Structures are given as C-alpha cells and as structure tokens.
Amino acid sequence: MLDIQLCAAAVLGDTLAGANLSTAFEDGFRRHPALSPGERAVVREICYEGLRSLGLLEAQLGKLLLTPVRHTGLRSLLLVGLAQLQFTRAKPYAIVDHAVQAAERLGQPAARGLVNAVLRNFLRRRHDLGRDTWQTPEARLGFPAWWVQKLRDQHPAGWEAVLATENQHPPMTLRVNRRRTTVENYLEMLSQGGIEARCLGDMAVRIDPRPVAEVPGFADGLASVQDAGAQWAARLLEVADGQRVLDACAAPGGKTGHLLEIADLDVVAVDSDSARLHRIRENLLRLGASATLTCADAAVPAAWWDGRPFQRILLDAPCSASGVARRHPDIRWNRRPSDLAKFAARQAALLDGVWQVLESSGKLLYATCSVFREENEAVVEAFISRQPDARIAHFQPGAPEGGRIWPDDDHDGFFYALIEKR
C-alpha cells in the first residue's frame, strides 16, 4: 500500500498543479514501475474518487489542521489518506500506518506524527465531517462555485441532477460496427461470454466497465468504445454513399470510424496534433476502414485544402469538456470561468475556417461535449449572424431535443447544431 499511496499522492499533486490527469497517471506509473496492474487500478480509483470529492477532502483537511501544510507532496498524501478512509475498503489502520511511512519516504520524517494525528482524528470525527455538514458547493456538490452557479442559471430545471450524474462512475458503452456484425449477433456474443448488456438505441450497447482487451470482438473491429451521446454525431450529419466528408478536429477518431461504418464515404480527417492523429490511424486500422489523414489546423484551409469542396463537415470543436466531467474529474478543478471565452473564440475561428470548404447546399454539424451556453448556442447564433448564407437545419425525427444531451445515467453531455449552406 505504501507505493500506492505515494503514487496516488504524486498523481493528485501533479493534477492539482495543472497537469492533465492522463499525463499525471503516466508520469506517476513511470516513477513507480513496480506497481502491479491491480495496484495501478487502485491508484486510479483513489485519484478518481479523490478528484470527484476534492472540495470535501480539502474542507475536511482544513478542519483537521491547526496550520496549513505547505509541502505539496505531504498535503497530497493527506488528501489521499482521507480519500482512502472514505472511498476504499482498505483497513483504516493500514491506511494510517502506511501513510505515516509514506511521509518519511517523501523526505518529511518530522511530519510522521502530524500524518498520524490528522488521519486518526478524522476517524474519530468522520460523522461530524461528512458531506452533508458542509454548505459550500465545492464540498457539498463537488464542483467549483462558478461552475455550479453557471449551470444553475442556464439549466434551472435540472442542474442538480446534472451535477449528481457528473459525480457518478461513467458507463461503458460500445458502438457495434454494423459493417461486420449486427446488434443482435453481438449481444449473443456478449451473452456467450457471460457479459450482461443492454441496448441504447440502434447501435449502442452498454456493459459493465472493463479493460478494452476484455471486450469481445474489440480487437477485430466488431465494436468500439463510444458514449451513446457521442454516437449521435455521425447520425445527425446525414451522410450518404459517395459524399466527400471533412472530419475537423478528428482525433482520436471515434466519430471518423462511425461515419465510415454508416456509409461509403471519401473522408478527410484533420487534426493539429500528430500524436493524436496516430490514434485515428490505429482506430481505422482496427475497423478495416480508411481515410485521408492530415495534420493541420482546420481553421486555416489554405494550409491543407486541395480545393475540392465537401458535402458534409463534422466539426467536433475543442471545448471545456464540461459534459464529460465524470470521465475527467480533473477538469472541474483546472478550468476557469475565463476559459469559456477562449474556447468560444477558437470555436468561432474553426467554424469560419471550415465553412469556406463546404459546398453550397452542404451541411455542417457543430458539436461539443460542453454543457455551457457560451460554447454552444451562443457560438452558433453568432456564426449565423455573421454568415448570410448559413441557416439552422432541422434534425431528423427522434434526435435530441434542441440538439442537447444532458449528462444522465446512459449519456455524457453533448450539444449539436446542424447548419446548412444556402
């Protein structure tokens, strides 16, 4: 447990310093190579639960300390200990004893008594320090105050349900590749493997979370991991055989693959990150599909466009990712209110850029995984107002109302707008 705590503390500390959680895990596991796969899973559990409840942990730590702890590694270790005592099934005495040893490993031997006192004091007072005893949104709801207030203002009827959902474990949803099998046949394959599953729409199947290596047929391209909300993108774009389609900001390629499963298309996938572009190539290879991959800024067509217009464009724009906060719990703490305006400016630039390569009568689907209006309706309304040949197109029957998918048990949060070039 000692190395688990040290690794978790390092990951948590790096994340709170602004690092991406995935990168923090990679760095943490590289610094602790002796951790087994099972131990790495425990580190992930501690960090995910710790970040979802970071506001609560920090409030508790503030009550348990007489003076603030300035050593960042030691402070992270105390947060990890509090998270373990509340969100794992490890024995409390083992958590405390190993945390005391971990303090010494961090080069803080004088803090052994502090760590022991703080964690044992929590065990005595845990009923007085529970979530319900706090009033701040950070401690009670698990989100920054500005995030809670903005969501409350923009979604007054359901903001509490959205936040509750974003604090749950995310579902694992698969997209069945209809070029290689049917939903019915795939469900039978899962059943034969002892995996319970249920359908979510035409191609989505939900199962209990597991490593992708344990998903039947994944390596053979029979299914891909993709949230049910994200699976609407390819469907809403209304593609047909023979069309030339641009997938802007395409990485990691889930939507690119879905488009190619739906119809025989000439797809150009553009992304500005060469490493992420490699992931698209891997995903398409697994699916047995092909597309033209281009490393470029989609907002600057002069750098990559060959002059041939597209009939369809999917713009899955970079955003705050506020609709997928349960999958990336670091986002809620590392985002700032000012970030929304920065994302909106980038989204506007991308819309203006790719609009140049859309043919007349063509359609563009604007998509984000954000729940905030500043990145969604406001961006689209501003675009329509400055582009006289742009108009909102109607979605197909059964599409999400208003193009909105709020986070719920089966979906992450998404926004879609279909724009037609007159």
Pairing of strands 310-316, 244-248: parallel
pLDDT, tens only, 381-411? 999 999 999 999 999 899 999 999 999 999 9
SS (H, E, C) 126-173: HHHCCHHHCCCHHHHHCCCHHHHHHHHHHCCCCHHHHHHHHCCCCCEE
Q: What is the pLDDT of residues 250-291, one digit of tens each?
A: 999 999 999 999 999 999 999 999 989 999 999 999 999 999
The CATH 1.10.940.10 domain(s) of the chain lie at 2-134
pTM of the model: 0.93
Positions of CATH 3.40.50.150 in the chain? 232-421
Query: What pLDDT score does 22 carry?
Result: 93
Q: Which residues pair with 313 in a beta bridge?
A: 246, 364
302-328 burial string, b = 16+ CB within 10 Å, else e?
Answer: eeebeeeebbbbbbbbbbbbbbbbbbb
CATH fold group of domain 2-134: N-utilizing Substance Protein B Homolog; Chain A (1.10.940)
| CATH 3.40.50.150, applies to 232-421 | yes
pLDDT digits (tens, 9 = 90+) for 117-143: 999 999 999 999 999 899 999 999 999
Residues of the chain with CATH 3.30.70.1170: 172-225
Please give the positions annotated as active site: 369
For the domain made up of 172-225, the CATH class stated in words is alpha beta
